[in-house]
Amino acid sequence: MKPVDTSFCLAHLLVCVNQRHKSALPSCASGDAEAIYQKLRGWIEAHGMLSRIWITRTECLGWCHVDGGTVAIYPQNIWVRAMTLDDCDALIEEHLQPLLSHGRPRKP
């Protein structure tokens, strides 16, 4: 086992794209989940920050029982639920744009 150096990571976005089968509970994939992932990833990539702002598709993050569309950002510990594609610009402006001031991309 070897520890991973995450010192260059400014944030790690977890975007739920879970599709629940055989359940009455809603799933994020029933909403805009994949489009949200693609839009956020596209923004990060367009700014050349994929090595410093990580983004990962996940399974259920546990908030779909309320209203789905769930994104978590660490280490900031920001959680957003009921998110739609239209909310991406606000999330970017509020939580991702400020990270750009921390510097340019760095090779891992």
Interface residue list for ligand FES (CB under 6 A): 16, 18, 20, 27-28, 60-64, 68, 70
Nearer to ligand FES, 37 or 63 (CB): 63
How near is the Cβ of 46 to ligand FES at its closest, in Å? 25
Angle at 75 between CA 74 and CA 78, to 5 degrees: 55
Segments of 18-107 assigned E as strands:
53-58, 71-74, 78-80
How near is the Cβ of 19 to ligand FES at its closest, in Å? 8
DSSP H helical ranges for the chain:
33-46, 88-91
Closest residue to ligand FES, based on beta-carbon distance? 64
How near is the Cβ of 96 to ligand FES at its closest, in Å? 20
